[in-house]
């Protein structure tokens, strides 16, 4: 059987902060359409790995390749975003005084190029895309609500919707269900599954119950290194993982 096409490859990445090695020789390959969880104890280097991929942090050694042959190791954050890698941080970056629909419109215009379209009307096709996006993130009946008044979960979904309108090939999410109710967490799980039909996703996650609800591959990091990769069942069976992470 042929290998699935990879959309992202991190090879032997090392990151140093003032001589401290936060990442040491970490490699990770993400397939097209894959939903991957990145787990590990606090300080393992998970967030730094996302920072490397999106260009926020430069590795001291190693290489990051996107879509087969695009070397993004030394590219700037905005260049990487334009190539199609979107990063979402824990705190949502939405415009609270604007409505849900206006927030989505801003994201859409960013994709099209702010200057060219600041005053232009959205075309019918774009209006349709926004409506579809609203449905997908479950906020169709709140399009005219002020974004600042949404619940915590709804704000997270709105931001994911804004990211999606920019059509990234890869979404990098940092603890997307942190602070969510059980119901919101379930809904977020469904949303991620739906997104992964078209795009690849890397999720840094602490909520093990949430991770267990997917059949996805899990990458376990510890002290800046790859400790184990496999299904949640595989990694849970690994003694080293139990020792450093699950506390067994
Ligand atoms: P995780 O996301 O797995 O909790 P991080 O990637 O946030 O881990 O951090 C990995 C290690 O690198 C930690 O020891 C952290 O203190 C350190 N670190 C992260 N960012 C910086 C920074 N900007 N400067 C110095 N040390 C950092």
Q: Is the CB of 59 under 6 A from ligand 1?
A: no
Q: What total number of domains does the chain contain?
A: 1
Assign 220 a pLDDT band (cuts: 50, 70, 90).
Answer: very high
* Closest atom, ligand 1, to C-alpha of 49: 6
Task: Report the pLDDT averaged over residues 15-22.
Answer: 95
Task: Report the pLDDT averaged over residues 53-72.
Answer: 95
Ligand 1 centroid–CA 247 distance in Å is 21
59 vs 106 pLDDT, higher one: 59
Ligand 1 centroid–CA 199 distance in Å is 27
Q: Is the CB of 222 under 6 A from ligand 1?
A: no
Ligand 1 centroid–CA 10 distance in Å is 18
Residue 212 has pLDDT above 60, yes or no: yes
Name the burial class of residue 202, with classes exposed (0-12), middle (13-18) and buried (19+) by CB atoms within 10 angstroms of its CB: buried
Task: Report the pLDDT averaged over residues 66-71.
Answer: 93
Domain membership of residue 222 (yes or no) is yes
The number of beta carbons lying within 10 Å of the beta carbon of residue 117 is 16
Q: How many CA atoms lie within 13 A of 71 on its CB side?
A: 7
- Output the residue whose Cα is nearest ligand 1's atom 12: 22
Q: Is the CB of 40 under 6 A from ligand 1?
A: yes
Domain membership of residue 141 (yes or no) is no
Domain membership of residue 57 (yes or no) is yes
Residue 248 has pLDDT above 50, yes or no: no
Give me 9's structure tokens: 């490859």
pLDDT of residue 4: 62
pLDDT of residue 246: 56
Residue 35 has pLDDT above 80, yes or no: yes
**Helical H runs in 87-138?**
100-112, 114-117, 124-136
Assign 110 a pLDDT band (cuts: 50, 70, 90).
Answer: confident
Task: Report the pLDDT averaged over residues 77-91.
Answer: 88
Ligand 1 centroid–CA 43 distance in Å is 6
Residue 124 has pLDDT above 90, yes or no: no
For 124, residues 6+ apart whose C-beta sits below 8 A from its C-beta are: none
CA–CA distance, 196 with 182 (Å, rounded to integer) = 21
Which residue range is the domain that position 76 belongs to?
1-84+200-248
Domain membership of residue 34 (yes or no) is yes
| CATH number, position 65 | 3.40.50.300
Residue 2 has pLDDT above 60, yes or no: no
Domain membership of residue 237 (yes or no) is yes
Ligand 1 centroid–CA 149 distance in Å is 33
What does DSSP say about strands 170-174 and 200-204: parallel, antiparallel, or unpaired?
Answer: parallel
Ligand 1 pocket, mutate which of 40, 42, 48 (most atoms under 8 A from CB)? 48
The tens digit of pLDDT for each residue in 87-105 reads 987 777 899 999 999 999 8
Average pLDDT of the chain?
91
Ligand 1 pocket, mutate which of 16, 17, 175, 205 (most atoms under 8 A from CB)? 17
Q: Is the CB of 22 under 6 A from ligand 1?
A: yes
What does DSSP say about strands 6-17 and 20-31: parallel, antiparallel, or unpaired?
Answer: antiparallel
Task: Report the pLDDT averaged over residues 100-117.
Answer: 76
128 vs 170 pLDDT, higher one: 170
For 6, residues 6+ apart whose C-beta sits below 8 A from its C-beta are: 29, 30, 31, 32, 68
Domain membership of residue 153 (yes or no) is no
Residue 106 has pLDDT above 80, yes or no: yes
pLDDT of residue 55: 96
Domain membership of residue 207 (yes or no) is yes
Q: Is the CB of 90 under 6 A from ligand 1?
A: no
CB 4, CB 31: distance < 8 Å = yes
Domain membership of residue 162 (yes or no) is no
Q: How many CA atoms lie within 13 A of 10 on its CB side?
A: 26
pLDDT of residue 68: 87
Residue 120 has pLDDT above 70, yes or no: no
pLDDT of residue 119: 56
Residue indicated by tokens 């894959």: 34
Residue 63 has pLDDT above 80, yes or no: yes
CB 221, CB 192: distance < 8 Å = no
């Amino acid at each position: 059987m042929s290998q699935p096409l990879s959309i992202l490859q991190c090879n032997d990445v090392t990151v140093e902060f003032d001589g401290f090695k936060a990442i040491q020789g970490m490699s990770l390959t993400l397939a097209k359409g894959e939903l991957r969880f990145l787990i590990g104890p606090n300080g393992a280097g998970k967030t730094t790995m996302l920072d490397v991929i999106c260009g926020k942090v430069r590795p001291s050694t190693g290489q990051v390749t996107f879509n087969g042959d695009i070397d993004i190791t030394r590219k700037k954050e905005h260049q990487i975003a334009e190539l199609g890698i979107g990063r979402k941080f824990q705190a949502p970056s939405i415009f609270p005084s604007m409505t849900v629909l206006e927030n989505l419109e801003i994201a859409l215009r960013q994709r099209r190029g702010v200057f060219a379209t600041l005053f232009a009307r959205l075309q019918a096709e774009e209006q349709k895309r926004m409506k579809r996006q609203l449905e997908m993130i479950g906020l169709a009946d709140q399009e005219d609500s002020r974004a600042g008044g949404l619940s915590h979960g709804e704000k997270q979904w709105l931001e994911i919707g804004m990211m999606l309108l920019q059509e990234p090939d890869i979404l990098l999410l940092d603890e997307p269900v942190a602070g969510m109710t059980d119901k919101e967490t379930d809904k977020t799980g469904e949303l991620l599954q739906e997104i992964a039909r078209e795009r690849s996703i890397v999720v840094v996650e602490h909520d093990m119950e949430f991770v267990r609800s997917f059949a996805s591959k899990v990458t376990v990091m510890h002290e800046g290194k790859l400790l184990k990769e496999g299904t949640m069942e595989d990694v849970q069976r690994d003694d080293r993982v139990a020792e450093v992470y699950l506390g067994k």
